[in-house]
């Protein structure tokens, strides 16, 4: 019997996945591929320490955070550990990508997923943070055995910026399933029995929550439910202060991590509003598509590509307001289009098979 190849997954908060596209990717790769590969997944101090094995993957916990300034130390340690003990390193989001040239000396296969579109240009970063991010992606792109991008536009960007080729592999979203909410969930979220639009986003400026909120402020007959981690940024706290309990049609919820609750909140909505402007193939967008929700999307090329141009698009609060008021008659067609696209493009069985081919090669 052939010995399984050892695969380390580096750069995430770990599994079980609670929040974030990379964590969900790691979760489903281990679910689908553990019969063929031995996985080690590194987990940050934010992840549960009660588990040492999950999906037949070995979990190694570190007393560091996978985000913020500690991420450089977190990634560096886990990369060196993986270089010593694994055959393949899957690096998700190369924040410490400048270490990759050194890891390459260990002659292990290094696969780097570069994540969202031009991470080094995000408005939420300072100039120093942007330079560090670009440096990480640059060295990771040049020295990785295989680069992965999640969108054709990011593929072109990595090629133009760093002269590096990449393979496009998107994210799955079919773990998001419509469920009938229990009586307990309805009691907790009574709006589930009414008509509403939903948005689920991190509270950062390039996710344009202000555009969505401003639109619904002007259409009081339409209800908005917005779920976010408001306290992670000044942007979020200021928005919550401005809108919380100020408009009867706007409901602001703190981040919801219980899967049955977030599935109910999204699944019962009339439509999903995707406001991200700086992402590749956004996990939250493909999850909404897999739920068969009509999509109102911020108008950038990456979102147009993900939805094949068949969503409703907006660039301003006025655009969104008018689109919601005018789009009611064709929401069913939009819903059907989103479901068909997601079934063809964004299933975890398809995504996992693509990663398996890279691990085998």
pLDDT, one tens digit per residue, over 88-111 is 999 999 989 999 999 999 999 999
Smallest CA-to-CA distance from 336 within 278, 293, 305 is with: 293
Q: Calculate the dihedral angle through the C-alpha atoms of 4, 5, 10, 14, rounding to the nearest 10 degrees.
A: -10
Total structural domains within the chain: 2
Distance CA 18, CA 137 (A): 25
pLDDT of residue 271: 97
pLDDT of residue 348: 97
Task: Give pTM, 2 decimals.
Answer: 0.89
Is 178 a member of any domain?
Answer: no
Residues 326, 241: one domain? Answer: yes
Residues 31, 84: one domain? Answer: yes
- The three-point CA angle 38-39-44 to 5° equals 160
Q: How far is CA 333 from the centre of its chain?
A: 26
DSSP state of 330: G
Residues 281, 328: one domain? Answer: yes
Smallest CA-to-CA distance from 289 within 270, 268, 307, 265 is with: 307
Residues 152, 202: one domain? Answer: no
Smallest CA-to-CA distance from 178 within 28, 17, 258, 293 is with: 293
12 touches 66 (CB < 8 A): yes
Residues 298, 195: one domain? Answer: yes
Distance CA 123, CA 94 (A): 18
User: 49 is written with which tokens?
Assistant: 């320490």
Distance CA 356, CA 359 (A): 5
Is 296 a member of any domain?
Answer: yes
Asked if omega into 16 is within 30° of 0 (cis), the reply is yes
Is 143 a member of any domain?
Answer: yes
Tokens 């640059």 belong to which residue? 138
Tokens 């295989």 belong to which residue? 146
Is 286 a member of any domain?
Answer: yes
270 touches 292 (CB < 8 A): no
Residues 138, 285: one domain? Answer: no
Distance CA 22, CA 198 (A): 23
Residues 103, 146: one domain? Answer: yes
Residues 129, 147: one domain? Answer: yes
| Longest pairwise C-alpha distance within the chain | 66
Instruction: Work out whether strand 57-61 and strand 53-54 pair parallel, antiparallel, or are unpaired.
Output: antiparallel
pLDDT of residue 124: 65
227 pairs with which residues across the strands? 200, 253
Whether the CA torsion 361, 160, 97, 304 is positive or negative: it is negative
Is 154 a member of any domain?
Answer: yes
Distance CA 280, CA 240 (A): 27
Is 177 a member of any domain?
Answer: no
Per-residue pLDDT of the chain (361 residues; tens, 9 = 90+): 568 999 999 999 999 987 678 999 999 999 999 999 999 999 998 776 678 999 999 999 999 888 878 889 999 999 999 999 999 999 999 989 999 999 999 999 999 999 866 666 666 677 777 788 788 899 999 999 999 999 888 899 999 999 999 999 999 999 998 888 999 999 999 999 999 999 999 999 999 999 999 999 999 999 999 999 999 999 999 999 999 999 999 999 999 988 889 999 999 999 999 999 888 788 999 999 999 999 999 999 999 999 999 999 999 999 999 999 987 568 999 999 999 999 999 999 999 999 999 999 8
Tokens 């599935």 belong to which residue? 263
Q: What is the CATH number of the domain that holds 297?
A: 3.40.50.2000
Smallest CA-to-CA distance from 183 within 171, 193, 175, 194 is with: 193
Residues 140, 192: one domain? Answer: no
59 pairs with which residues across the strands? 41
H or E element that contains 280: none
Whether the CA torsion 92, 169, 48, 268 is positive or negative: it is positive
Smallest CA-to-CA distance from 155 within 206, 118, 121, 123 is with: 118
Residues 141, 196: one domain? Answer: no
Residues 223, 145: one domain? Answer: no
Is 153 a member of any domain?
Answer: yes
Residues 302, 326: one domain? Answer: yes
DSSP state of 99: G
Domain that holds residue 32: 5-172+347-360
Is 262 a member of any domain?
Answer: yes
Classified as helix, coil or strand, 38 is: strand
Q: How far is CA 170 from the centre of its chain?
A: 11
How many C-alpha atoms does 168 have within 13 Å on its Cβ side?
16
């Amino acid at each position: 019997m052939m010995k399984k190849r050892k695969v380390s997954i580096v750069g995430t908060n770990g599994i079980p996945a609670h929040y974030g596209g990379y964590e969900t990717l790691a979760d489903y790769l281990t679910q689908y591929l553990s019969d063929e590969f031995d996985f080690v997944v590194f987990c940050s101090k934010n992840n549960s320490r009660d588990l040492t094995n999950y999906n037949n993957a070995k979990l190694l916990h570190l007393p560091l955070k996978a985000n913020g300034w500690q991420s450089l130390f977190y990634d560096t340690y886990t990369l060196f550990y993986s270089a010593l003990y694994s055959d393949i390193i899957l690096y998700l989001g190369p924040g410490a990508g400048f270490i990759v040239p050194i890891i390459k000396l260990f002659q292990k296969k290094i696969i780097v997923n570069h994540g969202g579109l031009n991470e080094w240009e995000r408005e939420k970063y300072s100039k120093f943070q942007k330079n560090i991010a670009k440096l990480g992606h640059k060295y990771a792109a040049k020295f990785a055995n295989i680069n992965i991008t999640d969108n054709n536009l990011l593929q072109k960007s990595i090629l133009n910026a760093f002269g590096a080729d990449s393979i496009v592999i998107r994210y799955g979203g079919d773990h998001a399933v419509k469920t009938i909410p229990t009586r307990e969930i309805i009691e907790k979220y009574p709006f589930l029995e009414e008509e509403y639009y939903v948005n689920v986003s991190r509270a950062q400026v390039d996710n344009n929550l202000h555009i969505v909120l401003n639109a619904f402020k002007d259409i009081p007959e339409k209800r908005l439910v917005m779920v976010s981690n408001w306290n992670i940024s000044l942007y979020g706290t200021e928005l919550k202060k401005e809108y919380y309990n100020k408009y009867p049609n706007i409901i602001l919820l703190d981040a919801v991590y219980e899967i049955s609750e977030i599935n109910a909140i999204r699944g019962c909505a009339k439509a999903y509003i995707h406001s991200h402007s700086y992402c590749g193939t956004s996990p939250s967008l493909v999850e909404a598509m897999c739920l068969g929700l009509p999509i109102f999307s911020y108008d950038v090329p990456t979102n147009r590509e993900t939805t094949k141009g068949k969503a409703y698009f907006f660039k301003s609060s006025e655009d969104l307001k008018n689109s919601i008021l005018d789009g009611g008659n064709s929401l069913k067609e939009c819903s059907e289009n989103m479901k068909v696209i997601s079934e063809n493009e964004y299933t975890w069985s398809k995504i996992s098979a693509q990663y398996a081919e890279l691990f085998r090669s």
